[in-house]
């Protein structure tokens, strides 16, 4: 049953006033997102006729906008993506590692999404690969899938990366599969510090290459001295990297990915009401045991928060690394499955009970 209230209704009623009030600040991407969501599955986008040959029922189905920020369009896209990825899963536990940017860095990310998001992807993946390859930790070449999210439950701006990682990888020489310890992947404190170092190095390089822009509340950070001071302060902070409990196997991974890969800032099902220039929606308070709550915002603030999470055109929010990287993924996974099968056979051989032969020792009686 479709929800009674949708994001499209909010844009339809309050969008024109919002665009008029923020005309000088709205970019092309934000305008296109608002228009696409409002017109999705309406006569404005055309449609087609569907008919049942058995019962004779005929209906007109309007076309979808297919915008990746539209809550109505992502369900079918997610199903197709998951069906394509199902064959990539290995019969091993999977771990979930989250990399989060501090508030000061997040403000730079918002004004430089393509540059900073790219750095976030690259350095988080490199952090996992470096620490996993270290013989002190795992000593293996791993693969991972990373998904970018930029929102919290109340649609505040909170850029972070969800990484889904198989629990193990190939040995450096590629001859065997190295499994991680049960319920433990890599030390999060080590991950946090390596991630912080790599990210700040690349952010500084982007600043030196004049790839970053600063305006509004953070315009003063365009000064080299102020930017250097920001990096110094960020180096002293503890960056949040945490690992969630591991998934049991491929089935649980698919269930998780179905909820995360193509999610938008807020689903239509969370909307409660829209009246008197305000929008009320449901959210979960994770700091207090996932307690369900409601929040009411002015319609303009609701729209502003939703648009915080648009991403640049052609930017990939889902990326694969290591043996899951695009290109040679099928061949690499075939090798991984062969190594896992060999590991299973060796384990079975070692676990089989061995028959011990009785050794009878005859002793001659003492001579009398």
Mean pLDDT, residues 208-216 = 95
Mean pLDDT, residues 61-69 = 87
For the 90-265+308-347 domain, the top CATH level (class) is alpha beta
For 258-262, 287-291, 305-309, which range has the lowest pLDDT when averaged over its residues? 258-262
State the Cα–Cα distance between residues 44 and 36, nearest whole angstrom.
Answer: 10
pLDDT surpassing 60 at residue 363: no
Mean pLDDT, residues 241-266 = 79
First to last CA, the chain: 101
Mean pLDDT, residues 326-336 = 92
**How sure is the predictor about 204, in pLDDT bands with cuts at 50, 70 and 90?**
very high
**How sure is the predictor about 60, in pLDDT bands with cuts at 50, 70 and 90?**
confident
**How sure is the predictor about 362, in pLDDT bands with cuts at 50, 70 and 90?**
very low
- Which pLDDT value is given to residue 356? 46
**Per-residue pLDDT tens over the stretch 38-49:** 999 888 888 888
- Which pLDDT value is given to residue 105? 96
Degrees to nearest 5, angle at CA 337 with 335 and 339 = 70
Please name the residues in contact with 242: beta carbons below 8 A apart, sequence gap of 6 or more. Answer: 97, 98, 188
- Helix or strand or coil: residue 294? strand
State the Cα–Cα distance between residues 239 and 79, nearest whole angstrom.
Answer: 34
- Which pLDDT value is given to residue 345? 64
pLDDT surpassing 50 at residue 147: yes
**Whole-prediction pTM:** 0.88
């Amino acid at each position: 049953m479709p929800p009674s209230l949708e994001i499209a209704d909010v844009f339809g009623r309050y969008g024109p006033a919002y665009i008029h009030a923020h005309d000088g600040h709205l970019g092309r991407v934000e305008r296109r997102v608002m228009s696409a969501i409002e017109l999705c599955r309406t006569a404005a986008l055309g449609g087609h006729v569907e008919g049942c040959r058995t019962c004779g029922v005929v209906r007109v189905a309007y076309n979808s906008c297919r915008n990746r920020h539209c809550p109505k369009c992502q369900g079918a896209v997610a199903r197709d993506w998951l069906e394509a990825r199902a064959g990539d899963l290995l019969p091993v536990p999977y771990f979930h590692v989250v990399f989060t940017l501090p508030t000061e860095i997040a403000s730079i990310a918002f004004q430089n999404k393509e540059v900073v998001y790219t750095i976030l992807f690259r350095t988080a993946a490199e952090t996992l690969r470096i620490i996993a390859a270290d013989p002190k930790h795992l000593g293996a070449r791993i693969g991972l899938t990373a998904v970018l999210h930029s929102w919290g439950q109340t649609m505040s701006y909170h850029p972070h990366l969800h990484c889904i990682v198989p629990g193990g990888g190939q040995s450096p020489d590629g001859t065997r599969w190295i499994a991680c310890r049960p319920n433990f992947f890599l030390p999060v404190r080590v991950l946090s510090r390596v991630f912080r170092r790599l990210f700040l190095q690349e952010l500084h390089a982007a600043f030196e290459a004049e790839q970053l822009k600063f305006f509004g509340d953070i315009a003063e950070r365009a000064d080299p001295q102020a930017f250097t001071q920001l990096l110094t302060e960020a180096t002293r902070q503890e960056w949040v990297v945490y690992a969630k409990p591991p998934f049991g196997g491929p089935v649980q991974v698919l269930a998780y990915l179905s909820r995360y890969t193509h999610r938008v800032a807020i689903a239509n099902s969370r909307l409660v009401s829209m009246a008197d220039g305000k929008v009320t929606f449901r959210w979960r308070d994770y700091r207090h045991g996932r307690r369900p709550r409601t929040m009411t915002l002015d319609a303009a603030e609701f729209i502003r928060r939703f648009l915080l999470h648009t991403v640049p055109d052609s930017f990939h929010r889902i990326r694969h690394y290591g043996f899951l990287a695009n290109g040679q993924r099928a061949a690499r996974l075939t090798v991984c499955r062969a190594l896992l099968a060999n590991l299973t056979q060796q384990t079975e051989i070692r676990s089989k009970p061995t028959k011990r032969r009785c050794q009878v020792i005859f002793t001659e009686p003492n001579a009398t």
